[in-house]
Chain A
Amino acid sequence: MTPSRRTALKVLAGGGCAAAAAAAPALAREPKVAPPGAMGMLYDTTRCIGCKACVFACQQANGLEPERDPSGLHLAPVDLGARTKNVIKLYKDGPRMSYVKAQCMHCVDPACASACMLHSLQKDPKTGVVHYDPSYCVGCRYCQMACPFGVTKFEFDKAAPKIVKCELCRHRVKGEAKKDARGFTRYASGEGPACCEVCPREAVVYGTREELIAEAARRIEENPGRYFENRAYGLTEAGGTQVLYLSHLPFGLIGLPDLGGRGVPHVAYSIQEGIYRGFVAPVALYGALAVAMWRNRRGAAPPAGGEGVPS
Chain B
Amino acid sequence: MSSHAVVHTPVGGELMTPFFRKLLFFVALGAAAVLWRFAFGIGAVSNLNDGYPWGIWIAFDVVTGTALGCGGYAVALLVYVLNKGEYHPLVRPAVLTSLLGYGLAVLAVTIDLGRYWDLWKVPVFFWRWSGSPQLEVALCVAAYVTVLLVELSPAAFEKWKDGAHAGLRRLSEAGLRFMDKALVWILALGMLLPTMHQSSLGTMMLLAGPRLHPLWFTPWLPFLFLVNCIVMGYAVVVLEASWSAREFGRPREDAMLAKLSNVAFYVAAFWLAFRALEVVVAGDLSLVASPIGVVFLVELALAALPVWWLSNDARRADAAYQVRSALMLVLAGTVYRINTYWIAFNPGPQWSYFPAVPELLITFGIVALEIALYLWAVRTFPILAGGEAGAVARG
Q: Which residues of A contact B (CB under 8 A)?
A: 2, 4-5, 8-9, 12, 79-82, 111, 113-119, 134-142, 144-146, 148, 150, 153-162, 238, 257, 259-260, 264-265, 267-273, 275-276, 282, 285-286, 289-290, 292-294, 296-297, 300-307, 309
Contact = CB atoms under 8 A, between A and B. Distances in A.
Nearest to A19: B195
A157 B41 contact: yes
Interface of B: 2-6, 38-44, 46, 48-51, 53-54, 79-86, 88-89, 112-116, 118-119, 121-122, 125, 128-136, 138, 180-181, 183-185, 187-189, 191-192, 195-196, 199-200, 203-211, 219, 222, 345, 347-348, 350
A158 B203 CA distance: 30
Given A153-B50, A272-B203, A302-B85, A286 B188 contact: yes
Query: Across chains A and B, which 6 residue pairs bring their CB atoms closest together, nearest first?
Result: A139-B114, A302-B85, A156-B43, A139-B115, A141-B53, A268-B206
B203 to A, nearest CB: 5
Given A141-B53, A159-B39, 15 more contacts: A8-B81, A111-B209, A113-B130, A114-B131, A138-B114, A156-B41, A156-B43, A238-B210, A264-B210, A292-B80, A297-B184, A300-B83, A304-B5, A307-B183, A309-B183
Contacts of B118: 135-139
Q: Which of B44, B114, B191 has the most CB of A within 10 A?
A: B114
A306 B115 contact: no
B188 A290 contact: yes
Contacts of B40: 159
Contacts of B131: 114, 269, 272-273, 276
B3 to A, nearest CB: 5
B42 A285 contact: no
Contacts of A305: 3, 5, 85
B83 A4 contact: yes
B199 to A, nearest CB: 8
A265 B207 contact: yes
A304 B129 contact: no
Contact of B192 (A145, A150, A286, A297): A286
Nearest to A157: B43
19 contacts: A4-B83, A115-B132, A117-B134, A118-B129, A137-B114, A138-B118, A139-B114, A145-B54, A145-B208, A146-B209, A150-B51, A153-B50, A156-B50, A160-B115, A162-B114, A286-B189, A286-B192, A289-B192, A304-B79
Contacts of B195: 285
B272 to A, nearest CB: 23
B81 A292 contact: yes
A296 B134 CA distance: 34
Contacts, number: 213
B207 A285 contact: no
B82 A285 contact: no
Nearest to A160: B115
A142 B132 contact: yes
A275 B131 CA distance: 11
A199 to B, nearest CB: 26
Given A136-B128, A139-B113, A303-B85, A272 B41 contact: no
Contacts of A80: 50
Contacts of B135: 117-118
Contacts of B89: 304
Contact of A293 (B46, B184, B196): B184
Contacts of B53: 141, 144-145, 154
Nearest to B208: A145
A268 B219 CA distance: 8
A301 B3 CA distance: 11
A229 B252 CA distance: 70
A141 B113 CA distance: 8
Contacts of B42: 156, 161
Given A5-B83, A259-B210, A285-B195, A272 B188 contact: no
Contact of A141 (B5, B54, B80): B54
A135 B124 CA distance: 14
Contacts of B183: 297, 307, 309
B191 A306 contact: no
Q: Which of B132, B133, B196, B206 has the most CB of A within 10 A?
A: B132
A235 to B, nearest CB: 18
Contacts of A260: 210
A306 B3 contact: yes
Contacts of B84: 302
A267 B282 CA distance: 15
Given A2-B83, A293-B184, A116 B130 contact: yes
Contacts of A4: 83
A200 B347 CA distance: 33
B114 A161 contact: yes
